[in-house]
Amino acid sequence: MCGRIAQYSGIREFVDALSGLPQREQFRLPLEALQHYNIAPTGQVATLHLAEGTLLADLLPWGWKPHWATRQPNQNARVESVATLAFWRNAWPHRAIIPIDGWYEWVDEGGPKKQPYFIRRRDGRPTLCATIGNFPGLDGDAPPNPGTACITADALGGMLDVHDRRPITLAPELAWEWLDHATPKERAEQMVLHQGEPADEFEWYKVGLAVGNSRNQGSQLIQPLAPLGHA
C-alpha cells in the first residue's frame, strides 16, 4: 500500500466521521462530493489537519520528501521506522488525516496483468488514514515542500492475501487524538504501532482493469466484477 486511493464523498461527510470536532472549521476545497475515484501518488488529496485549534481541510499533494532529498516524494511511510528515519524527521511532528472511501491494490493471480482490488470499510463509513507531512497554516499560504504521506503497517499476511502492506487507519476518537497537537510524539508513535484498526474491519473485491490508468475516473471503477461474497 498504497498505489491509488478514492475520495468520492464530500468533505462534510469526511469531517463528520471524526469525533471531538473543534468549534472552528475552515474548508479550503469544494463542499460538494469530490468524485475522485482514482488518485495516484503526487495527485491532490483532501487532507484534514489542525492549526491553532481550527480544523482545516486542504487539497495537498499525496507524497512528501525533505528539502534535501533528491528522490521523488514518498506517498507512504513505514510505521516501523517513521519515527526514527532521517527522511521523515521534519514531517513526523506534523500529523494529519487523509479521509478516504477506499483504496486499490493489485495482486498477481497468474494472468497477463495483475488483478486490481478495491478495499473499503465493511460498515460503509469513511476510512481515516494516519498521515504526516507539511501543511498550510490558517492563512492558507503553502509551506515549503507541502504534502502528506500515509503511514503503513504489515498487512497480517497481505490484507488477507491481497497485499503485504496496509494503511494505518484509526477509529474516530483515536483519529482526533492523532490530530491534536497536545498529543505527545511518543503517544502518537504508540497509536500507529499498536492501535490501528484490524483487517477484519474491511472488505475487498475485484474491480476492472481500467483503474490501472490514473486518467480514468468514475464510479464504474469501484464496481465489483462479481456479486460481493463471490470470487
For 171, how many CA atoms within 13 A lie in the half-sphere containing its CB?
8
Contact between residue 102 and residue 126 where contact means Cβ atoms under 8 Å apart: no
pLDDT at 160: 45
Catalytic residue (one of 2, 129, 150, 177): 2
13 contact partners, CB below 8 Å, separation of at least 6: 126
Q: Are strands 95-100 and 127-134 parallel, antiparallel or unpaired?
A: antiparallel
Active-site residue 105, yes or no?
yes
Active-site residue 2, yes or no?
yes
Q: Is residue 226 very low, low, confident or very high in pLDDT (cuts 50, 70, 90)? A: confident
- The SS3 call for residue 210 is helix
pLDDT at 3: 81
The type of residue at 174 is: L
Least confident range from 11-15, 156-160, 166-170, 177-181: namely 156-160
Q: Is the pLDDT of residue 2 over 90?
A: no
Show the domain range for 94: 4-222
Quick: pLDDT tens for 69-119.
998 899 999 999 998 999 999 999 999 999 999 999 998 888 899 999 999
Does any domain span residue 230? no
Does any domain span residue 228? no
Q: Is the pLDDT of residue 140 over 80?
A: yes
Does any domain span residue 229? no
Does any domain span residue 231? no
Does any domain span residue 95? yes
Residue showing cell 497554516:
137
Radius of gyration of the chain (CA): 17
- For residues 30-34, average pLDDT: 92
Q: Is residue 38 very low, low, confident or very high in pLDDT (cuts 50, 70, 90)? A: very high
Mean pLDDT taken over the chain: 90
Quick: pLDDT tens for 169-199.
999 999 999 999 999 999 999 999 999 998 8
Catalytic residue (one of 105, 129, 150, 177): 105
Instruction: Give the CATH number of the domain where residue 32 resides.
Output: 3.90.1680.10
Does any domain span residue 157? yes
Sort 159 into a burial class: Cβ within 10 Å, 0-12 / 13-18 / 19+. buried
Beta bridge partners of 118: 104, 205
Quick: pLDDT tens for 14-28.
999 987 777 799 999
pLDDT at 102: 96
Does any domain span residue 153? yes
pTM of the full structure: 0.92
pLDDT at 165: 75
Report how many domains make up the chain: 1
Contact between residue 31 and residue 10 where contact means Cβ atoms under 8 Å apart: yes
